[in-house]
Structures are given as structure tokens and as C-alpha cells.
Structure 1
């Protein structure tokens, strides 16, 4: 690349990446400030997404509202007993009261307590507006793209395509589009991918450990497995210690490691809440987005809640990769084959399981 007449700008500080000609950099850099037409549809110019309510509080409220909204919707279906949805239950409705070891009142009390704890911890963790607004809202996006994204995008393109071919592509007009796409879409997608991976990894290994160490299961995780027939409101029915370690801490680590903005946290927390409620819904509905897009869904997780499946299907809440790696997947076909071969009742298996863990 010819750089004799222009200064050079460094992006990645590594000999693997070439220095960038400043004249090329100027072609890649969007104007500052950006014109309104340059912003993606999801961008909001408002200081708060909900007028008068800090995004900090919205990030804490959204997962709770999502939980009770979707849980309430499935509860309505449970009570209404519409024929279409009754045919898509994973268990007969009477099994909920016959096989489960916790009442609805006890369950709601425990979930409300967990929501109170996670809200209190969130108030201490999520920074106030005077810190967030200058860093995340009052931002010159064009300048950020010019200073941080343009040189790095150029370097990556030149490493992948070679300096001459890479520069030709960048100067063709595609360069600025790559910079803008990386800023508005590429990096956010990678952030959410990393957050999903961290949550899945943290929850899989802690979940698996709680099943493999009898003391942990007996004192903590057995609370959640009092629901042998899961239903939506029970998604976060946990011992408080497990609720903090498994759910609250995993989401906190994920958003911190992926360096999310407060508005990204709103989306992550809300989506994760909807996903875990749907996974415990007790319905197999093919057009349900959570079940259509994820193989780790209500049918998959229901198997884990059965006495014969408690050492299988540990993965939650998004993907099944860790179960596949550790060979802990149990399919519905395997369950059906097992029912044909084994004659013991569900209640007898539950009693045997509880005796093995020395549960009351």
C-alpha cells in the first residue's frame, strides 16, 4: 500500500495488522455528526426509552414484567383448557397437582423473593444516569466509528484479502458500509452471542454440579425439582442461593464480559426471562418462536424435570452444545422407548429418587 504522501493511523497494535493510510481512513469514516438517515431503526435519540423513567430502572423491571406476563399467558391457557392447546400439553393437567411437591402459593412467594433480591442487587450493579448518559447516549457515533472502527475494519479486510485487494475493496465504496455495519450490527451481534455463550456455559456446569453432588442437590437444587411437571410460573422457583448463583450471577457476568450498554442489558435480561418461562411452560407448540428457533426448549427441558431424566439435558437456557459435548442428551424418542420398556409409575420413580437423595 502506498503511504509516502500520507500519515499512517494505527488500529490494532500488532505486527500482524498493517498501518492504515490516513487518506483511506477518511474515505471509510462517516460524517460527524451523523445525519438522521444514517441511524438504524432500533436507535432512539431519547435520553430514556420510556419517558420519565431511567433506562436503569427499565433494565431491572423488564425481566420481571416479561416473566409474569408470559407466565400469566400460559396460566390462562392452563385454566381455559382450549382444545387446541390441551392437545399440545406435555402432561395432563391433573399431573401438575398430583405429582408436584409445591403449591402455587409457595411457588409465587419464592419467585417474588428472587425478583426482589435481583432488583436490589441490580440497583447496586447498574450505574446511575450521570455515568451512563455521557458514555452511552450523548455519543458522537460518527467520531467513534472514525477513530475506533474504521482503522480496525480496514486492517481486518487487508489481512483477509491482502493489502492491495483489501484497499481496492475498501476504496470501492464498500469500506464505509462495512464500518457502519460493524458498528450498528456486527459488534452488537457478537456481544449477544458472547453473552449467550457465557450464560449457557455458567449454567450448564453449575447445574450439572448440583445434580452430581448430593449435598448440593439436597440443600439447594431439589427445591426447583419439586416441580416434576413444570409450568410457566415455576421457571424461577429456586432456593435463594441457587437463584443468585445460577440465574442472577450468570446474567451479570454475561453482560459485563460482553460490555453491554444499559439498553442492550434490557434486551438481554428481557429475552432471557421470556426464554426460561417458555422452557417451563409445559406446552409443545411448534410455532412458538422460542421453540421454533431453539432445540433447547420446553420439550427438551421437560425431560430433565422427570425423575428418569435428571442426569440428562442439563443445558439451559439457549443452546444444547454442552449436553452434546458431554453426551448428556436425552431425546423424546428415547423417553417414549423407555416408557414402553419400563413398567414403574412416575410416582414410584419419584419416591425412589427422593430416597436416593435423602429428601423428606
Structure 2
């Protein structure tokens, strides 16, 4: 196990950070954590089971609703968990937030597509609040009770939005317009307060998996394509630098490429590390990024100060059983991955799973035997243990 780990990789440094905020630069002096990527310590032939506990949760999601109607989720873009239920959303499928229980059985959906009262034209995101659910629509936010009962709709204007997140005193929106700022902050009445991160170049406004997430302290964390700094949205005036990912000589330098021909810029981007997604619990930070056409993962332990870094192609995935699985959300200390049912079923092998105890093997075997390869995804929840 220890051969896969390196020493402390998160440092706290005092740094002056400049960010572009509505056309002016703000200088912020603060303690900024750094996550240092050490490519030389990348693990080879790492078993996923080597770095997680035996408390692995496997949840095949139902293909039918309570009336027996079939539905299909191509992916899962948002995952929230509350009182034993999973609230899930697939923007590229039928775009309707759905609720499942811990066994994967369908419970209900939230709202529906249409033009009527309580319906949405195109749901793009949802937020699970303490006592209700909010769904982002085109220029609107719809509110529902946790049981799906419609409450109200509110309009916003002045920008387009593809994602959003509730703040203590307002909202953070990801801009959907092709040439507008990428991050918009509004008050609780949806009045625009400030906008940040100008368009500059198309690669900077690319759609990302989960550009807004929360950490264990319920801070909203923002990240942008080809920007190696993550930001905490602590107020409505400006985002504050939160974590600097030190990619070394493979760090992106978009501002140096501005003005270059498109083919030059795309060539430089292809050679640079590009953050794919980032999730954080109280104990662990999980970063995925692309480099040289491959997906890399870096998992850092806040408990021990150690990291595991590996390419997806070097991972022996005896947990999700899907080499293309990806992280979709965190609840407590459990990190949930999405596995395609076809891969999960085809890659089941008792030899592959020999590191697990018999009870776990039998559980996965039972799920695999009854799995519809054309059905909905499988959720796999793990807790890290280093």
C-alpha cells in the first residue's frame, strides 16, 4: 500500500492573487492551499480496492417508474443524498430530476417537462435545500416541496445560465451565453450583483462536469476549464482563490496563448493538464484531469497528508468494474462513481475481485447476473482508507 503514496502534497502559502472581476483586477492576500501533482510517483497496476474500505455500496438504478413506465438515464450530472434517498439528474437524457431509494428503486420525479404550471422547458440543474428542491430552467428557478409538490417559479434576467448553486445570501450561476462572463452572482431575489471570468477564448467557457460543488464546510467551490486555481464563492462581490493545483511544467497558460491562431492554441491546450472535476469531503480531495490524451486522478488525504496518483489506464478497477467510470458526487465520506451496466456485467470476474471478502463477491455477482446491460447506470459508493 505505501508504495502508492507520496508525502504531504498540500501546502499553505501566503500569496497575492489577482482575479479578473467585472473588468477590474482585485488583489487578494490570503492563505491559499496548493495541491502539488507529482507525476514521478504515479502508481502502476494499482487495485482500486487497495485504497478503499470494504464498505463498498453498489446500487443498480431502476429502469421503471412506479407505474411501470420505462425511462433511461444516459449519465448522472448531479447527485445529492438526503434521508436515505438519492436525488439524481441527467441533463442529456430526458432532463427530469428523479429520486431513488438506497436499493436503487425509483421513488418519484420532480416536476416534468412542458409549458404548464410547475413544468420546465429545459431543466439544466437542481439544488437540494433544507426544505425544498429548486430546479433551474430557461430564465427561471422553480421550487418544489421534497415530495415533488410545486411551490412557485421566479424569473431572472440579464444573463443565461446552465448551472447554479444556492449561497447563504444569494446564488452562483454558470453562464450559458457563448460570449458572456462565466460566473454570475445574484442576491436571493435573483438580482445580478456581479459577474466574473470574461469569455476571452472559447476553451475557457467550455462546459465542465460539476463546475460548482460544495466542500465539507458547505463552501461553494467554482472551477473553470484550463484554470489551475479553484475559487470559493464566499460573498457576492468576488470569488476568492481556494486551491492552487500545481501541474508543474504541464500547467495551462491560456493567457499567454491569447491572440495565437486557433490551431496553435488548441495544440498548446492538448499538451497541458486540464482539470476535469474536483470533489472534496472532510477527509479527502479527489481531482481528475486530462493530460496527453489520458485521464489522471489524484486523491489526497487530509488525515495523513498522503496522496495517490494514477492514470486511469494503470488502474485495475476491481470496485466499479468499469474503466470509464467517473466520480459524480460525495455524501459525507462516501464518494459515488457512475458505472455503465454493460461494463459492470461484462467485467465481473471472481478472479478480479479476489481481494474482496466472499460476502462482497457474492453481492456483486448477484447484481451482475440480474443487470440489464441496456438499463440505467450503477452507483458505486466507496470510502478511502489511507
| Structure with bigger gyration radius | 1
Whose relative contact order is higher, 1 or 2, with alpha carbons under 8 Å and at least 6 apart? 1
**Structure 2 length-normalised TM:** 0.20
**Structure 1 length-normalised TM:** 0.21
Q: Which has the higher strand share?
A: 2
